[in-house]
Amino acid sequence: MCDENQLARWARQSLNRRTFGAGALATAAAACTSMDGAAESAADAPTLVESTVSFRTPDGVMDGFFVHPGEGSHPGVIFWPDVAGLRESKRQMARRLAGEGYAVLVINPYYRDVEGQQYADFASFAADNGFQKVRPWRQRLDSAAVGSDAKAAASWLFGQAAVDSSRGIGTEGYCMGGPFTVWSVAADQRIRAAASFHGGGLVRDADTSPHKMLRGDAHYLIAIAQDDDAEAPTHKDTLRMAMREAGATAKVDVYTGDHGWCVPDSPAYAPEAAERAYADKLALYRAAL
């Protein structure tokens, strides 16, 4: 998983490539092309509507980024960012998913402490001692807090005209957001599908470990980074066993990318593996929502 030693290494890589931050946005835009790598034509691509939003939770006012097709109502998706929080690469990822026919809410997970975007990209986060800065914010995000946030987000989504409230909600998360997806499903019956990408801490000793909080009627995609699997090779088996025992519909697999491979502004971004993960996510949502 993403730890401070790994982050320090990424920071050095980012600083040694001064164009990394700017290039990340171009890469993110490229990631919004169609699955075969060709850009979608303007005629085929839906018109998207996006906005900065905020709404109350039991702990304050959550803010985020909301994007959806300009016409009709669509399944909602709660998007949990990685440790660097809400930023342009996450907006780009949300726009791509919205183009597939989903109404996507990218949460600011740190809203209890700060509002909106804190870092332009992952390079800025790494270079600015970001891990130490966000540590106290992250410590607030236990299973109870995440579950409460997920319920508030689901209720807000169901109140939007762009969201089809007759269908379930999906949730996806990256890095620290991976376990948040499982906690979200556990917290609210309206959330029916969870996709965790290079998620850290999915298997823990505590009773609130995500692998102990599965719902039998939900669908799960657990996409594990190859380096995370090398560090904890038994976790995938534990997760698979837990899914079977819960009776959940699940895919638990190791992908040929290192931690962060799905995120366009991550130094570990691996486009081919990211496309595979994206296709698997769409299959999950189409089956569950």
Q: Is residue 39 part of a domain?
A: no
Which residues does 129 contact at the CB level (< 8 Å), separation at least 6?
none
Q: What residues contact residue 288 under an 8 Å CB cut-off, 6+ apart?
A: 168, 170, 192, 193, 218, 219, 249
| Bigger pLDDT: 44 vs 113 | 113
In a domain, 198, yes or no: yes
As a whole number of angstroms, the distance between CA 192 and CA 262 comes to: 22
Contact of 63 with 111, CB cutoff 8 Å: yes
Tell whether 282 is covered by a domain. yes
Task: Judge contact between 111 and 205, C-beta under 8 A.
Answer: no
**pLDDT tens digits, one per residue of 110-142:** 999 999 999 999 999 988 889 999 999 999 999
Which two structure tokens, joined as six digits, stand for 228? 């995370």
Q: What confidence score (pLDDT) does residue 24 get?
A: 43
Q: Nearest 5°: phi and psi at 86?
A: -70, 130
The answer to whether 69 and 47 are in contact (CB under 8 A) is yes
pLDDT band with cut points at 50, 70 and 90 for residue 46: confident
Question: Does residue 16 sit in helix, strand or coil?
Answer: helix
217: helix, strand or coil: coil
249: β partners: 219
What is the pLDDT, as a whole number, of residue 28?
44
| Distance spanning both ends of the chain, measured CA to CA | 29
- The domain tally of the chain equals 1
Confidence of residue 9 (pLDDT cuts 50, 70, 90): low
pTM over 0.85: yes
Q: Is residue 11 part of a domain?
A: yes
Residue 38 is assigned to a structural domain of this protein: no
CATH number at residue 52: 3.40.50.1820
- The count of other CB atoms within 10 Å of the CB of residue 113 is 15
**Among residues 211, 221, 225, 227, which one has the least CA distance to residue 279?**
221
pLDDT tens, residue by residue, 12-31: 454 444 344 444 444 444 44
User: Of all helices (H) and strands (E), which one includes residue 284?
Assistant: helix 271-288
DSSP 8-state symbol, 74:
B
Domain-embedded: residue 221: yes
Is residue 222 in some structural domain? yes
Residue 7: per-residue pLDDT: 56
Which tens digit of pLDDT belongs to each residue from 266-281?
A: 999 999 999 999 999 9
Query: Residue 36: what pLDDT?
Result: 44
Q: What is the DSSP string of 147-166?
A: HHHHHHHHHHHHTSTTB-TT
Which of 168, 160, 178, 112 is closest to 284 using CA atoms? Answer: 168
The chain-wide mean pLDDT, for the chain, equals 89
Q: Which pair of structure tokens corresponds to residue 30?
A: 């490229």
Higher pLDDT, 33 or 236: 236
Q: Which domain holds residue 109?
A: 4-18+46-288
Q: Check if the beta carbon of residue 281 is closer than 8 Å to that of residue 35.
A: no
Looking at residue 118, its pLDDT comes to 95
